[in-house]
Amino acid sequence: MIQRKDVQFRADGAVQLRGWLFLPDGPGPHPAITMAHGYAAAKEHGLEPFARAFAESGFVVLVHDHRGFGASNGRPRQDVDPWRQIADWRRAISFLESLPEVDPERIGLWGTSYAGGHAIVLGATDRRLRAVVSQVPTISGFEQGRRRVVPEAVAALEEGFSEDERAQLRGEAPRTVAVVGSDPAVPASYRTQEAIDFYLQPVPDGVWENEVTVRSTRAARMYEPGIWVDRVSPTPLLMVVALDDTVTVTDMALAAYERALEPKRLRTIPGGHFDPYTTRFDTASGAAVEWFREHLA
């Protein structure tokens, strides 16, 4: 029987990060895994099945919402700052270390999509981690943006960034756009049907809003976690890469894996960016369980 508890811990000041703690059967202390969601999502977007798979394999699992999203507090809401999220994630590691159910010498980290990029950065810069899994990770925000935004749309995008900066100088709140949307007349971060289906999956009322700050897009286009990939070693790194990924882009992930140093492992799966959560869940979760068992258990 896996027990799921609501937990919270301090990030900084009055900001409390909230999430779920999954406790496996049997006496501890257990090895542990810390997890978080990707760009502009909440923990309810497909993370619980992974957490339960890990807990059923004997790991304590912490899943937290990034500040400004889901159950965590923090203002402005729906604002994605990758470096703030990384700093907060270090607090999640510290929180896990403090729990009597956890062996602090056996903590791993799992991140997906945008948080897959965070997993690479944290693996390279926080030696408390004994194993890292980076699933369909962001590698280069600049290159992803160049591929996903047609050249004739770049000028309007940049002007939107500038207008948002001017508005904030006037004391206005950061401007927002939809996370997903099919109407080309309405600005949105993602327009593919697979992204729309993923983000608009049923979640409890009040958990998530279909909006993200404009400045989050600028930050994403400046975010380059791939430069850290050869610094993760000697921490063991597993990369799970979808072979038809047009969001974080397959060829960049494969090239990043080639730059990574041992110990490392690559697991490729058929399908697109969101298939690890759905049609390829067993393969993606199984690869992560195997990696964590090898290096934590």
- CA dihedral sign, ordered 183, 184, 186, 192: positive
Provide CB contacts within 8 A for 282, sequence distance 6+: none
* Topology, domain 3-147+223-296: Rossmann fold (3.40.50)
Question: How far is the C-alpha of 184 from the C-alpha of 27, rounded, in Å?
Answer: 54
- The whole-number pLDDT of residue 153 equals 86
Could you state, in order of their start, the residue ranges of all structural domains in the chain?
3-147+223-296
**The overall pTM is greater than 0.95:** yes
Question: How far is the C-alpha of 219 from the C-alpha of 233, rounded, in Å?
Answer: 26
DSSP class of 297: -
Are 78 and 209 in contact by the 8 Å Cβ rule? The answer is yes
- The whole-number pLDDT of residue 279 equals 97
Q: What are the backbone dihedrals phi and psi of residue 237, each rounded to the nearest 5 degrees, phi first?
A: -125, 125
First to last CA, the chain: 19
* Class of residue 153 by CB neighbours under 10 A (exposed 0-12, middle 13-18, buried 19+): exposed
- CA dihedral sign, ordered 80, 191, 136, 31: positive
- The whole-number pLDDT of residue 231 equals 98
Q: What are the backbone dihedrals phi and psi of residue 86, each rounded to the nearest 5 degrees, phi first?
A: -65, -45
Residue range 231-277, pLDDT digits in tens: 999 999 999 999 999 999 999 999 999 999 999 999 999 999 999 99
Inter-CA distances, 115 with 27, 28, 126, 204, 220, Å: 31, 28, 15, 22, 12
- The whole-number pLDDT of residue 295 equals 98
- Closest by Cα among 132, 135, 136, 139 to 237: 132
Per-10-residue mean pLDDT, the chain, length 297: 96 95 95 98 98 98 98 97 98 98 98 98 98 98 91 90 97 97 91 96 96 97 98 98 97 98 98 98 98 96
Question: How far is the C-alpha of 116 from the C-alpha of 136, rounded, in Å?
Answer: 6
- The whole-number pLDDT of residue 283 equals 98
DSSP annotation string for 123-168: HHH-TTEEEEEEES----HHHHHHHHS-HHHHHHHHHHHHHHHHHH
Question: How far is the C-alpha of 111 from the C-alpha of 239, rounded, in Å?
Answer: 10
DSSP annotation string for 34-65: EEE--TT--TTTT-HHHHHHHHHTT-EEEEEP
The residue behind tokens 């983000």 is 199
* Local structure of 265: helix, strand or coil: strand
Inter-CA distances, 43 with 65, 140, 145, 293, Å: 6, 24, 25, 23
DSSP class of 17: E
- The whole-number pLDDT of residue 28 equals 86
Question: How far is the C-alpha of 24 from the C-alpha of 60, rounded, in Å?
Answer: 6
